[in-house]
Structure 1
């Protein structure tokens, strides 16, 4: 399997939302929420974007306190955190503004991406700290979760009002499966096999990659080419993926 990032429809929606956020009218509306079920590529997409744009990627902890949050943030800037919360806040603001200015000179957006943000979306103290950074420094924060953030923020309207963009990662479409087959699968795959993979995996990136690994395992023993790709019948009786809910193996039917 090739180590290549696949631009899915979800990744494209995130990029479009970020562009829209950059053009926002209200300067204090600097927050974005990205949510969706596990296995749809949120972490891969957001981490890759952070690396490419010299932004900060953090993974929220269930027991995060405001001080711990700022310590993790400062560590990403390779800055030794001060002892007091007030000093850490000042250190963080200075570091973010400096990076933001540098990226603005390159005409790029700087932001702080916080994955697993369901853990903190009901924590008033941490969310108020994020709001302060956003308001005072025009810093963009992207909160990534699995569907609880929007509901939790209804209890914090002063934070919810700062959200400029909501992006929901949905189960992939057939075109996404075809992109995965074309761009990372090392065995050429026919349309009927791609369609079956979409049907069985329900468009989850994680399962699509699992299917690709099994296809490559079976297909590398054959003589498949772009002109003569592997078809669904070639996988008959072979393992495709494990069921997401039950964990039971799913095989391609012998008669297809």
Structure 2
């Protein structure tokens, strides 16, 4: 499979939300919530954006405490965490302000992305720390989760009111599947098989990539090229992907 990144509709919506964030009316509205089911490409998309834009990526842990959160945040900046939380907060705040100012001079956005944020969306202490850092350092934070963040934040109006943009990652569209196949698969794939891939995978990016690996293996073995893309008829009876609910293999059907 090609080592490349495909800008799906989900990714473009996320980029659109960041542009809207820059045009926000309230200065304190510095939070963005990105959610959606597992397997829709959220982590891949956000890590890619962070790598390209010198943003900070941190993965929340289920047992995070405010002190552990601060330690991991500072580690993302390659700064050792002091013993006192208050000192760590001061260092993080100053570092965020410096990074934001430097990127602002280059007319680039700065973000802190916290993945798996469902783990912390019920922790008022951590959420308040994030709110304080965002407010004082004028640094936007992106909270990434699996659909529970928005509901959980309703418990904390003082935090929820800071959310400027909500972005939901949806299942891949027909156009997304076609783009993923064209951008990642090392053998050409016919439209009829592309349509079946979307049906068989339910539009989940994780399963689409699994299908691409199997199609690619088949196509290389059978020397499929531009003049003979892999079709349903060619792959009939071959395993395409495993069903995420049952774990059973889904095979390519005989053409009708």
Alignment partner, residue 252 of structure 1: 252
Tell me if the contact between 2:3 and 2:184 (Cα under 8 Å) persists in the aligned partners: yes
* Residue 25 (1) aligns with residue 9 (2): no
Q: Where does the alignment leave 5 or more consecutive residues of structure 2 unmatched?
A: none
C-alpha separation between the residues in 2 aligned to 1:199 and 1:129? 43
Tell me if the contact between 2:21 and 2:165 (Cα under 8 Å) persists in the aligned partners: yes
C-alpha separation between the residues in 2 aligned to 1:138 and 1:147? 26
C-alpha separation between the residues in 1 aligned to 2:50 and 2:174? 27
Residue 255 (structure 1) shift: 4.3
Alignment of 1:168-207 (within 5 A): 168-207=168-207
Alignment partner, residue 64 of structure 2: 64
Instruction: After superposition, give the CA deviation of every residue in 1:39-79 in whole Å (9 maximum; x if it has no partner).
Output: 00000000111111111100001111111111111111111
Instruction: After superposition, give the CA deviation of every residue in 1:163-186 in whole Å (9 maximum; x if it has no partner).
Output: 000000000001011011111101
Instruction: After superposition, give the CA deviation of every residue in 1:124-144 in whole Å (9 maximum; x if it has no partner).
Output: 000001111111121100000
Alignment partner, residue 211 of structure 2: 211
Residue 228 (structure 1) shift: 2.4
C-alpha separation between the residues in 1 aligned to 2:92 and 2:242? 44
Alignment of 1:17-166 (within 5 A): 17-166=17-166
Alignment partner, residue 7 of structure 2: 7
Q: Secondary structure at the match of 1:57?
A: strand
Q: Secondary structure at the match of 1:164?
A: strand
How well do the aligned residues superpose, as a CA RMSD in angstroms? 0.9
Q: Where does the alignment leave 5 or more consecutive residues of structure 1 unmatched?
A: none
Alignment partner, residue 16 of structure 1: 16
TM-score by length of 1: 0.98
TM-score by length of 2: 0.98
Q: How many residues align?
A: 256
C-alpha separation between the residues in 2 aligned to 1:200 and 1:89? 48
C-alpha separation between the residues in 2 aligned to 1:238 and 1:23? 50
Tell me if the contact between 2:232 and 2:253 (Cα under 8 Å) persists in the aligned partners: no
Tell me if the contact between 2:21 and 2:164 (Cα under 8 Å) persists in the aligned partners: yes
Q: Secondary structure at the match of 1:220?
A: helix
C-alpha separation between the residues in 1 aligned to 2:76 and 2:197? 39
Residue 226 (structure 1) shift: 2.2
